[in-house]
Homo-oligomer: A and B are copies of this chain.
Amino acid sequence: MTQDPTFKLDPRLAETTFDWGLAAPGLNLRLVNDSRWPWLLLVPQQADVVELDDLSPSALAILTKQAAILAAALRTVTGAPKTNIASLGNVVNQFHLHIIARKPDDLAGAGPVWGHGAAVPYEAGAADVLHQALLGEISPVGETT
Contact = CB atoms under 8 A, between A and B. Distances in A.
Interface in A38-92: 50-53, 55, 57, 60-61, 64-65, 67-69, 71-72, 75, 82-91
Interface residues of A, number: 33
A109 B57 CA distance: 30
A89 B65 CA distance: 19
A88 B102 CA distance: 9
Nearest to A84: B88
A72 B53 contact: yes
Contacts of A75: 51
Nearest to A73: B53
Given A52-B64, A60-B64, A65-B57, A87 B86 contact: yes
A86 B96 CA distance: 12
A110 interface: yes
A115 interface: yes
A110 B91 contact: yes
Interface of A: 50-53, 55, 57, 60-61, 64-65, 67-69, 71-72, 75, 82-91, 102, 109-112, 114-115
